[in-house]
Structure formats: C-alpha cells, structure tokens
Amino acid sequence: MTARIAVMKNFPKNEEEFLVRFGTEDNCRRYLFDLRWPEGFVCPVCSGRTARVNKKNFIVCTGCQAQISLTSGTILHGTKKRLALWFRAIWWICTHQKGGSARELQQYLGLGSYQTAWVWFQKLRRAMSLSEGKSCGGRVEMGQGMICDRERDGKDYSPYECAKVLAAGEVVASAPFGLGRTRISLVPDFSRSTISGFLRENIEQSSTIVTTEDLESSTIESLGYGHEVIRSVDVRDDLTRGFPPHVASLIGDLASWLIRTHKGGVKKKHLQQYIDEYVFRHSMNLGESPVETFNRILKGGVEGEATPYWRLVGKDRPQSSRSREKGHE
C-alpha cells in the first residue's frame, strides 16, 4: 500500500463533508491502515516494511508473504458490514456529546436489527475504554460507594439495582466537575486486595490520594502513595458518602446519565461498559478536539483485541463447538 492518507487534522464540519472523506471503503481502509501503522507498514511476522494488498483485501508482506487482515486483532475483526458504516457510527458518537441509545444508533445507520446496533455500541464502548491511556496522577480524589440505575423515589434501593464502585479523578480546578482524567470500576467488594488492584491499575505511584475516612487507608499508604483524609461532605445520599466532593458530583452525574439516556435499562453485567462510555465522554470534555476523539475510538479499536459476542453479552465462553459466535455483524 503506497498511497497514504494523512491522518486528518480538521474534523469534517458536517455529515456531507464527512461522507466525502469516509464514504468509500477504500478511503476508510487507507485511513485505518495509517492509524495502525503511522510510521508505515511493519510485518508482525518478519518486521518487513513493504507490502501489497491482494484481491481479497489482505495486506501481504512482500518479505514473508504473511497475509494480514487490516482489522485482525481489533474490535472490527471479522465484521461483515462495511467499514464506512463503522466510521459513520464513530462519527455519530463524536457528534453526540451527551451520548445516545442503541435504538438511536440503529435508526441513524439504518441497521436492520436492534440487536446488531446494541452489539456495535458495546464494541465501540470497549474501544473507548481501551483508548483511555494514561493513569491518573498528581492530586487524585478517590472513593468507594454505590451506583444505582433507578431513582430512589421515596423507597430504598433494592440491592440488585445497585453496584459497588471505586472511583478516582485528578483534581483540576478548571475541568468539568473539577476533575481531569477519571477512572470508575465496578468491584465485587472494598477489600484491601480490590483497592490495591484499582490503585495499581489506575493511579500513578507519585500521586497524592485524597479520600474520606470511609476508605480503608492502610492499603494506600502501604503502596507508597501520599495520602490525605478529608471529612465526608454532607451529601444527600448515603450511597455517595464514601466519595470526596468532586468524585461524588461525578458519580451523581453518571447515575443520572444512566437513568436519562438509558432509562434504567442497563443490566449489571453490562454496567462497566456503560461506565467506560461515560468516562470516555468526560475525557472528551477536557478540551480534546473531535478529530482526536474520532481517532482515539478508531485506534482503541485498532489496538484492542477482538471481542467475541459471548464476552460482550456477559456470558461464559461457549463450551460446544456448535455455539456460534455472532459478534461479527
């Protein structure tokens, strides 16, 4: 593949302009190729630098003749739908700042089935979470609490409607909710090992962590982080009392986003993917341009592993060879 398409600097101003750039399979393929190999092709088998494209659209290394699918190892792997349609889905996400539902995506793309639209959205959410990049650093608020998918409505939540989360965010005064990069994870409990796993995965070692007195603090200190304890703010809701103030506001907004956009219809086993989308959308509001967002989702896909259907829908890997993987819509 010799002709290269420069990774775009200016985002298309409207859909018409978008379709001029990405309306054809060829343009989409070239763009994905350049995002995947920004320094030019490198063969994963022999590290050769030259390749051609065969009639079946495989990239063939001229050194070792290895055939590489442009989408292999990505969330787009095995897709039977046109890449141009996937590009339009990502465009839709980038131009709907507050998010939307699978039903709306289905209508926009003219997809035949709701199920397909839902699976697409889940794949895109996975690409969003894979693209999140660097850990939180500096002064980081962290807390534990519950997130619920129904409004309280005068009654107590029943336990299955709520899920335990650990959440963290860099304190940045000028950012929405006073938080820069954020991380929110569903967890089974608030044990030392769970907290320690969350810290290692999401927060840089040199950070100072700000918590309320509700969070078990010895883990933070034993891992060598700076630690500052503040008093719980008076919160309307016991569910968020374990979060420091900025993170409490973020979690409150996440809960109402889930209710507003998804009408309380998110199942617990899929909740993390919806949370990932919310975290991604928060990072979109930190001054990132739409081009960066677009490339980030596409790259998240490029760098992500293929996600089979059974994993997206929260099932165990099928035992039987007769079980079909239906994820390749």
61 binds Zn ion per the rule CB under 5 A: yes
Residue of 45, 133, 288, 315 that binds Zn ion (CB under 5 A): 45
Q: Does 137 bind Zn ion (CB under 5 A)?
A: no
- Out of 23, 48, 178, 308, the residue judged to bind Zn ion by CB under 5 A: 48
Cβ 2 to Zn ion shortest distance, Å: 17
Nearer to Zn ion, 63 or 197 (CB): 63
Q: Which one, 46 or 230, has the nearer CB to Zn ion?
A: 46
List the structure tokens of 166.
Answer: 């650990």
* E strands, the chain, in order: 51-53, 59-61, 67-68, 139-148, 162-171, 179-186, 208-212, 226-230
Stretch that binds Zn ion, among 40-48, 146-154, 159-167, 246-254 (CB under 5 A): 40-48
Phi and psi torsions of 205, nearest 5° = -55, -35
Decide if residue 42 touches Zn ion (CB under 5 A). Answer: no
Which one, 66 or 291, has the nearer CB to Zn ion? 66
Considering the rule CB under 5 A, would residue 64 count as an interface residue with Zn ion?
yes
Minimum Å gap between C-beta 44 and Zn ion is: 8
d(CA 300, CA 21): 21
Closer CB to Zn ion, residue 36 or residue 181? Answer: 36
Spatial contact of 250 and 176, defined as CB atoms under 8 Å apart: no
- Contact 249/154 with Cβ under 8 angstroms? no
Strand order in the sheet with 51-53: 51-53, 59-61, 67-68
Contacts of 26 (CB under 8 A, 6+ apart): none
| Contact with Zn ion (CB under 5 A) among 23, 63, 137, 308 | 63
Burial classification of residue 114, based on how many CB atoms lie within 10 Å of its CB (0-12 exposed, 13-18 middle, 19 or more buried): middle
CB 318 within 8 A of CB 145: no
Which amino acid is present at 138? G
**CA pair distance 219, 203, nearest whole angstrom:** 13
Q: Which of 38, 46, 57, 218 binds Zn ion (CB under 5 A)?
A: 46
> What's the sign of the alpha-carbon dihedral 70, 75, 77, 82?
negative
Stretch that binds Zn ion, among 23-31, 37-45, 221-229, 302-310 (CB under 5 A): 37-45
Q: Phi/psi of residue 118, each to 5°?
A: -65, -45
Nearer to Zn ion, 7 or 45 (CB): 45
Residues between 83 and 102 that touch Zn ion (CB under 5 A) = none
230 touching Zn ion, by CB under 5 A? no
Please identify, using beta-carbon distances, which residue of 23 and 48 lies nearer to Zn ion: 48
Rounded Cα distance between 150 and 206, Å, is: 38
Beta carbon of residue 33, minimum distance to Zn ion (angstroms, whole number):
16
* Residue 66 in the binding site for Zn ion (CB under 5 A): yes
Minimum distance from CB of 249 to Zn ion (Å)? 52
Among 32, 43, 59, 162, binds Zn ion (CB under 5 A): 43
Nearer to Zn ion, 63 or 100 (CB): 63
CA-nearest of 88, 120, 92 to 23 is 88
Check: CB of residue 68 under 8 Å from CB of residue 43: yes
Part of the chain binding Zn ion (CB under 5 A), chosen from 27-35, 44-52, 243-251, 305-313:
44-52
Which residues 268-327 are close enough to bind Zn ion by CB under 5 A?
Answer: none
Binding site for Zn ion (CB under 5 A): 43, 45-46, 48, 61, 63-64, 66
